[in-house]
Each structure stands twice: as structure tokens, then as C-alpha cells.
């Protein structure tokens, strides 16, 4: 059992994980839905955890494939996604098993920083994108010292793509309260 398996039962207790608070859920919808390039985008949710973002996007009409290392997280995600266009699998976020060029959007929230080789994982994720695909990363550097600073993530993306726009995510509505660390959105359209 991984540490993520151990956290599966309480993971959604955090407002930004479970998205059960209507204000927090609306904030994430407002952030992510305008980034989708078409009404029925094909989205890879890498490191999907309990599937909150996958369900949010599928509920808006997108086709979502999610992957997570934790079988217990995926079990919770499958329960949430019942009846929606979501395909969920247990697997390594560093090396998703999907075909190159399959997705309009590759989305990852708070995963890149935790991988053993973020640069290699990012190279793989970029290959998953269609020619006009969009990379969407939500990352941060937490007060514990864990995570990636925005400039570090931006440099990793620019090694693979020509653009990496960073937006600070300090709106308390996204997190269920005020934050005092660095959280950001990184979007790369090319």
C-alpha cells in the first residue's frame, strides 16, 4: 500500500481536493473550463487522485482519461465518475500508457513536483498532446519546502515547448481559504 492509498479515504476532506464546497468547485470551473480548446475536448488528467477534476471536466462535456498510481484513489474516482465520460486507470503518472497525439489537453495538478524525474515525465506528457494541444499544470511550492517554484516549472516546460504562461493562484476560493505559499497555473499552448 502506497502513502497515497493510505490517504484515499480522507483525501477529499480538503476543499480543493474534493471540490464539494460549491464556492471552491465554482472557482475551479471558472479557472479550468475556459482553457478547454473545444466543447468536447479529449483530456488526460495525470495523477488524477480521487478524480475531482476529471469529474468536473466530464460533467462539462469533455472526454477524460485519468491515471493515478494509487488503486484506492482510482476506486474513489470511479465511484465519483459513474455515468460520465471518464476512463480511469491505475498507472505511473511518469509514463502514461496512452498513444502519442491522443489528447487536446494534458492536465496535472500537484503531481509534477512529486515525480522522481519531472523533466522526463514532462517530455512524455507533451508527446501525448495533439499538434494544437494545451498543457495545463497546477503546481506550487508549499511552506513545507516541497514542490516546484513557478520559475522551475516554467524552465522545465520551456525545454519542451515554446510557451509557458504562469498565473499566480492566490484566490482563497480555489483553496477553501487563504494561502501563504506559492501556487500557480502554468499553461503552454505551443
Domain of 58, CATH number, reads: 3.40.50.150
pLDDT at 9: 75
Position 113 in a domain: yes
Q: What is the predicted pLDDT for the residue at 1?
A: 58
pLDDT tens string, the chain, 190 residues long: the values are 567 778 777 777 788 888 899 999 999 999 999 999 999 999 999 999 999 999 999 999 999 999 999 999 999 999 999 999 899 999 999 999 999 999 999 999 999 999 999 999 999 999 999 999 999 999 999 989 999 999 999 999 999 999 999 999 999 999 999 999 999 999 999 8
Give CA separation, 76 vs 72, 97, 120, 136, in Å: 6, 21, 28, 23
Residue 104 lies inside a defined structural domain of this protein: yes
Within a domain: residue 185?
no
For 116, which DSSP code? Answer: S
Per-position b or e across 114-125, b if 16+ CB within 10 A of its CB: bbeebeebbebb
Say what the pLDDT of residue 17 is.
Answer: 87
Buried b (16+ CB within 10 A) or exposed e, 136-156: bbbbbbeeeeebbebeebbeb
pTM: 0.95
Spatial separation of the C-alpha atoms in residues 165 and 150, rounded to whole Å? 10
Q: For residue 150, is it within any domain?
A: yes
Domain of residue 63: give its range.
44-179
pLDDT at position 3:
79
Residue 171: the pLDDT is: 97
How many domains, in total, are found in the chain?
Answer: 1
Q: Check residue 14 and give its pLDDT.
A: 83
Amino acid at each position: 500500500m502506497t502513502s497515497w492509498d493510505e490517504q484515499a479515504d480522507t483525501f477529499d476532506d480538503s476543499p480543493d481536493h474534493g471540490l464539494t464546497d460549491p464556492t471552491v468547485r465554482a472557482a475551479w470551473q471558472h479557472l479550468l473550463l475556459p482553457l478547454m480548446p473545444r466543447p468536447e475536448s479529449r483530456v488526460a488528467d495525470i495523477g488524477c487522485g480521487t478524480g475531482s477534476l476529471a469529474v468536473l471536466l466530464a460533467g462539462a462535456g469533455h472526454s477524460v482519461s485519468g491515471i493515478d498510481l494509487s488503486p484506492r484513489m482510482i476506486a474513489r474516482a470511479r465511484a465519483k465518475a459513474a455515468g460520465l465520460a471518464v476512463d480511469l486507470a491505475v498507472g505511473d503518472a511518469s509514463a502514461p500508457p496512452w498513444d502519442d497525439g491522443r489528447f487536446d489537453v494534458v492536465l496535472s495538478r500537484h503531481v509534477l513536483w512529486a515525480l522522481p524525474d519531472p523533466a522526463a515525465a514532462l517530455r512524455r506528457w507533451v508527446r501525448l498532446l495533439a499538434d494544437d494541444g494545451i498543457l495545463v499544470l497546477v503546481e506550487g511550492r508549499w511552506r513545507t519546502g516541497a514542490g516546484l517554484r513557478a520559475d522551475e516549472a516554467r524552465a522545465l516546460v520551456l525545454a519542451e515547448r515554446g510557451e509557458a504562461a504562469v498565473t499566480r493562484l492566490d484566490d482563497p476560493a480555489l483553496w477553501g481559504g487563504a494561502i501563504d505559499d506559492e501556487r500557480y497555473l502554468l499553461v503552454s499552448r505551443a
